[in-house]
Amino acid sequence: EAQVTQNPRYLITVTGKKLTVTCSQNMNHEYMSWYRQDPGLGLRQIYYSMNVEVTDKGDVPEGYKVSRKEKRNFPLILESPSPNQTSLYFCASSPLGVQGFTDTQYFGPGTRLTVL
């Protein structure tokens, strides 16, 4: 089944304790992205990747890191989490069309992170 998976789905942690949220897709999509969703603010892009070893900042990259060593995986790393990073996180992937543009984004199930 074609899908985007994220792990963990729920995480409660404490300030300063490094964590990684994994994202994996089995659709051979070039484009992958991380969003955070907060009430009243919609979906805000954290980082995105147009292909392997190509990553770039979105609107709210501060406090986050990403890597894209393989096409299928795009982990989100919080080196020193803070309470303002408490949020619902979504990973998404999309194929690139013939002109190199993204198309439909397929979202993962989400990771609810609480930083105490």
Partner 1 sequence: GENVEQHPSTLSVQEGDSAVIKCTYSDSASNYFPWYKQELGKRPQLIIDIRSNVGEKKDQRIAVTLNKTAKHFSLHITETQPEDSAVYFCAARAFISNFGNEKLTFGTGTRLTIIP
Single residue of 10, 62, 98, 100 touching partner 1 by CB under 8 A: 100
In the window 57-96, what residues touch partner 1 (CB under 8 A)? Answer: 58-59, 90
Q: Which is closer to partner 1, CB of 81 or CB of 108?
A: 108
- 64-70 long-range contacts (CB < 8 A, ≥24 apart) are 64/34, 66/34, 68/32
Q: Which is closer to partner 1, CB of 84 or CB of 101?
A: 101
Tokens of 104: 């439909």
Give the x-and-dash track for 8-47 against partner 1 (CB under 8 A): -------------------------x-x----xxxxxx--
Asked if omega into 8 is within 30° of 0 (cis), the reply is yes
How many residues sit in the footprint of partner 1 (CB under 8 A)? Answer: 23
Q: Is 10 exposed, middle or buried (0-12, 13-18, 19+ CB in 10 A)?
A: exposed
Q: Is 103:43 a contact under the CB 8 Å cutoff?
A: no
Residues of this chain that interact with partner 1 (CB under 8 A) are: 33, 35, 40-45, 48, 50, 56, 58-59, 90, 100-102, 104-105, 107-110
